[in-house]
Amino acid sequence: FRATPVLPVYLSLVFRCVGENFFVARAGQCVLGALTCVLVFGIATRLVSPRAGLLSGSCLAIYPFHIYLAGVFYPECVVSFLLALSIFLAVRGGKLALVTGLVIAATALARGTFLILIPGVIVAWWSQGVRRQCGVLLVGSLLLIMPWAARNAQVFGRWMPVSSGFGMMLWRGNNELATGDPSDRHLDPRNRSEEHTSELQSRFGIS
């Protein structure tokens, strides 16, 4: 369920250009992290004030977890950059609607939960009277998401716009049996393996 394409595509492009060089891949993520700080500066400047922009960008630049993510291959480094870029474009009020749609779609392809950005931005623009651009944004989003959704339909034989993780993570996050640790994967209701049965028996005293 973690098989979203954006981080693998990023790594494959780096490795295609320079070979399997993890230093270069991490350096690229450092650049994305720095650009994220610049984007946050731009967002806060536009929405609040230049002083708020400087404070926001500076705080992100020294935020330990943001720095840590540049050195590990989790999707969050790329997601943070794409999310910041999505919001930066969205607050411009539809001036680059097609590009905004493409970037939001890329964000969703990095983490499926960010599909919510598509209707969210459309509602915001619509309420501001920016209505023609809403359709352009939707077209841009579909241009990027639909090929991956078609691939998923072919591979898994069912409709899956980004990944299968959202439903499972929603289930794990809202039930009394989940503890939040990796063993929760055994609580997947679709899992009927012996390991799954053993885990339930040991954790909850089921005979």
CA-to-CA distance for 109 and 147, rounded, in angstroms? 11
193 backbone dihedrals φ, ψ, rounded to 5° = -80, 165
User: Residue 193: CB partners within 8 Å, gap ≥ 6?
Assistant: none
Q: Which of 50-54, 83-87, 132-136, 165-169 has the lowest mean pLDDT?
A: 165-169
Instruction: Tell me which DSSP letter residue 112 carries.
Output: G
> What's the average model confidence in pLDDT over 101-127?
92
Q: Please give the sequence-ordered ranges of beta strands (E in DSSP) within 41-186, or none if there are none.
A: none
What is the average pLDDT value for the chain, to the nearest integer?
85
For the cut 80, the answer to whether the pLDDT of residue 62 exceeds it is yes
Number of H helices, E strands in the chain: 10, 0
- The first and second tokens of residue 132, run together, are 């023609």
Query: Can you give the pTM of this predicted structure?
Result: 0.79
pLDDT for the residue numbered 1: 44
pLDDT for the residue numbered 191: 54
For the cut 60, the answer to whether the pLDDT of residue 203 exceeds it is no
- The first and second tokens of residue 135, run together, are 């359709």
> What's the average model confidence in pLDDT over 172-190?
62
* Residue 33: closest CA among 79, 86, 1: 79
Per-residue HEC secondary structure of 106-151 comes to: HHHHHCHHHHHHHHHHHHHHHHCCCCHHHHHHHHHHHHHHHHHHHH
How would residue 28 be classed by pLDDT, with cut points 50, 70 and 90?
A: very high
pLDDT for the residue numbered 93: 82
> What's the average model confidence in pLDDT over 82-86?
96
How would residue 171 be classed by pLDDT, with cut points 50, 70 and 90?
A: low
Count of residues in the chain:
207
> What's the average model confidence in pLDDT over 22-37?
96
For the cut 60, the answer to whether the pLDDT of residue 204 exceeds it is no
pLDDT for the residue numbered 56: 96
CA-to-CA distance for 131 and 69, rounded, in angstroms? 37
